[in-house]
Structure 1
Amino acid sequence: MADSPVRMRAEIAALPAYRQGRQAVADGYKLSSNENPFGPLAEIVEAMGRAEVNRYPDATGPALREKLGRRFGVTGQQVHLAAGSVALLSQFLLAVCEPGSEVVYAWRSFEAYPGLVTVAGATSVQVPLAAGAVHDLDAMAAAITDRTRAVIVCSPNNPTGPIVGAAAFARFMDQVPADLLVLLDEAYVEFVRDAGAVDGAALIGRWPNLVILRTFSKAWGLAGLRLGYAIGAEHLLDAARAVAIPLSVTGQAQLAGAVALDHEELLLARVADIVETRGRLVAGLRELGFDVPEAQGNFVWLPLGDGAAAADEVFHAHGVVVRAFPGEGVRISIGEQESVARVLEAAAAL
């Protein structure tokens, strides 16, 4: 008897699985995943070696949560850990969404948002970016209805690069219903140099419905360990903790995050190096005639439209792996200083 097909949710069956961009090329540069080009500190590697991998980690990571709490002036209960900021997004959406509900976010933005919303059983409401590839917060506020359960604001915006302004965000929050969850996704906040940018750390406690999402993956160079954290009201974090997969933050990640915080000055000096490299790359691309939006993350965006797929092939032929979004553009991560010349060489060939 032939096997009968397993019945699945129709929206999940239609949802494409997440696929990474191209991986590294020989004698080239992998600039497709917004990774930190610097290797881990020896102290972090040593800390990871102390983890008892034959034992389960502490489920809630109290030591690291307390350390983060002291850094941001909150209690450990106002900090929640997860396996990267994408896991945090998933948890909060699962906690507030139900069939028929909606989630509002800007588009184009982080490519995981649509899938996470679908998995949570909700519907995406995508608000087009305004000129300059920035969030249109007025349009996002207007898109909120009684079906809206969450709003996601990404600053700086991945993959386009611009920030959300602090004043504009404050006006936006004053328009948002108090019972609506707002997730401020700040995965790249350490790379921001725009003094007018929103800074979630300065907003803690101002709006009880606001949760700040950050990660150790980018600036802190721990992408392979999957470690992110949320800061917000305890009852909101408890809801995320309730739907989280238990023990998903490894002991190695918890130890590495704690040591990274102890070496913040050195790690942020590396971030400054990446920012300087970003400036050289942006200047070079603009000299070539490319329309590069204001880059405030560890990546730059080339809005190439229908030329994105062809550009991907040109970069790959020059030994540069980028992240192409067919029909929209190409995102290029900031890598080693030496990568700038190769990227500009490929860009010139376009």
Structure 2
Amino acid sequence: MAVTLRPEIAALPPYRQGRAADAAAFKLSSNENPRPTHPAILAAIAESHLNRYPEGAATALRTRLAERAGVSIDEVHVGAGSSSILYQLVQAAAGPGDEVVYAWRSFEAYPLMVTVAGATSVQVPNLPGGHHDLDAMAAAITDRTRVVVVCTPNNPTSTSVTAAQFSAFMAKVPATVLVILDEAYYEFDVDPQRVDGLTEIANYPNLVVLRTFSKAFGLAGLRVGWVVGASYILDAARSAAIPLAVTEPAQRSALTALDIETELLAGVDELIERRARVFAGLTAAGWTVPEPHGNFVWFAAGDQTSAVAEVLEEDGIIGRVFAGEGIRISIGEEGSVDPLLGSAARVVQTLPKAGENARLG
């Protein structure tokens, strides 16, 4: 006899990280920061006491983040990556019979966390070009809606929500519905019209804002995310958290990253410049991709996605493949740019239908 499991969980495909690459290929499948770990962060890790449990409240780190956000320490919570905080927030707010609204396609962990909570996903299709349809998302809210997630820049389409768009959206959301603004790629969005969750938090008591050290700060392997919001909401998230999940090396590294933020963000500037060259090169090759605001670009290849992925892999480019929809390509090392652009041009030349899908965006 087999053990009885929740059928909706047993049927749920687990989250799978981006494919690894061999030594001859570029791994552009996981939105990782390609810069080597800063020596100061390595030194912070070396000072950690691995035989001891971490300080569970992460007081020093939360204090620094609270000062940065202009809020109290009780209005900041940290987790093992922003994804873990998303799970905690959804579990705290939604359960069986409740609904969670989010754009689709967006971050592929969203449907997993909703199902684990026992709630129901309400997926609102993106607009042509990959932007959130915020009007449709607002219209999808019912008396069963407990959470709405807005991802900007959106993973995987790399599109952005402006401050004006977000303000208009929030005006339509009931105050009893939790809005999670997922800004994991915030530092890569240089659009002056972008929404900035930390400036919006005082305007909306039902808003929480997610950030992470994984991307811009290059700490993906240590898993440190943070969220700002009303203390009673974050207390509920803390109750849903696994205790002591943010390790001492992670906390020390995040504090050090804040100390050397100027250096680390200079590396982000390099990636943004590289992203601009990739975007221009793709456009010149015949692709119409959404203007990227994250550290990745989106190939809307439609039913030619698998064929496009094969060509890219032949040329040493490993992207994140979403079958039947498209491929997300991270901005990687400088050496990856020419092979990526050359392969993308070859796709347009050898797979005309993929080029048609690309021009449709």
TM-score range normalised by the length of the shorter chain:
over 0.9
Query: Does residue 318 of structure 2 align to residue 336 of structure 1?
Result: no
Q: Tell me the equivalent position of 2:7.
A: 10
Identity across the alignment (%) = 56
Q: Tell me the equivalent position of 2:125.
A: 128
Of 186, 191, 194 in structure 1, the residue corresponding to residue 191 of structure 2 is: 194
CA drift at 1:80:
0.3
Q: Secondary structure at the match of 2:227?
A: strand
Q: Secondary structure at the match of 1:105?
A: strand
What is the root-mean-square deviation of aligned Cα atoms in Å? Answer: 0.7
TM-score by length of 1: 0.98
Kindly indicate whether the alpha-carbon contact (under 8 Å) linking 1:322 and 1:330 is maintained by their aligned counterparts in 2.
yes
Q: Report the more deviating stretch, 310-319 or 290-299.
A: 310-319
Query: Does residue 267 of structure 2 align to residue 233 of structure 1?
Result: no
CA drift at 1:98:
1.3
Kindly indicate whether the alpha-carbon contact (under 8 Å) linking 2:61 and 2:254 is maintained by their aligned counterparts in 1.
yes
Q: Tell me the equivalent position of 2:312.
A: 315
Please show how residues 89-238 of structure 1 align to structure 2 within 5 Å: 89-238=86-235
Q: Secondary structure at the match of 2:128?
A: coil
Structure 1 CA distance, aligned partners of 2:129 and 2:319? 21
Q: Secondary structure at the match of 2:217?
A: coil
Runs (4+) of structure 1 exceeding 4 A deviation are none
CA drift at 1:121:
0.5
Q: Secondary structure at the match of 2:171?
A: helix
Q: Which amino acid aligns with 1:121?
A: G
CA drift at 1:197:
0.9
Q: Secondary structure at the match of 1:127?
A: strand
Please show how residues 260-339 of structure 1 align to structure 2 within 5 Å: 260-339=257-336
Q: Secondary structure at the match of 1:150?
A: strand
Q: Which amino acid aligns with 2:325?
A: E
Q: Secondary structure at the match of 1:205?
A: helix
Query: Does residue 73 of structure 2 align to residue 76 of structure 1?
Result: yes
Q: Report the more deviating stretch, 44-53 or 308-317.
A: 308-317
Kindly indicate whether the alpha-carbon contact (under 8 Å) linking 1:100 and 1:147 is maintained by their aligned counterparts in 2.
yes
CA deviations 1:53-94 (Å, max 9, x no partner) are 000001110000000111111111111000001101000000
Kindly indicate whether the alpha-carbon contact (under 8 Å) linking 1:220 and 1:260 is maintained by their aligned counterparts in 2.
yes
CA drift at 1:170:
0.7
CA drift at 1:131:
2.3
CA drift at 1:165:
1.2
CA drift at 1:192:
0.4
TM-score by length of 2: 0.95
CA drift at 1:320:
1.2
Kindly indicate whether the alpha-carbon contact (under 8 Å) linking 1:205 and 1:233 is maintained by their aligned counterparts in 2.
no
Q: Tell me the equivalent position of 1:19.
A: 16
Structure 2 CA distance, aligned partners of 1:200 and 1:337? 31
Q: Tell me the equivalent position of 1:36.
A: 33
CA drift at 1:28:
2.0
Structure 2 CA distance, aligned partners of 1:19 and 1:107? 18
The count of aligned residue pairs is 347
Structure 2 CA distance, aligned partners of 1:266 and 1:343? 27
CA drift at 1:204:
2.1
Q: Secondary structure at the match of 2:90?
A: helix
Kindly indicate whether the alpha-carbon contact (under 8 Å) linking 1:26 and 1:319 is maintained by their aligned counterparts in 2.
no
Q: Tell me the equivalent position of 1:57.
A: 54
Q: Tell me the equivalent position of 2:240.
A: 243
Q: Which amino acid aligns with 1:21?
A: G
Q: Secondary structure at the match of 1:224?
A: coil
Structure 1 CA distance, aligned partners of 2:122 and 2:238? 26
Kindly indicate whether the alpha-carbon contact (under 8 Å) linking 2:103 and 2:124 is maintained by their aligned counterparts in 1.
yes
Kindly indicate whether the alpha-carbon contact (under 8 Å) linking 1:78 and 1:232 is maintained by their aligned counterparts in 2.
yes
CA drift at 1:329:
0.3
Q: Tell me the equivalent position of 2:358.
A: none
Structure 1 CA distance, aligned partners of 2:129 and 2:199? 26
Q: Secondary structure at the match of 1:16?
A: coil
Kindly indicate whether the alpha-carbon contact (under 8 Å) linking 2:148 and 2:180 is maintained by their aligned counterparts in 1.
yes
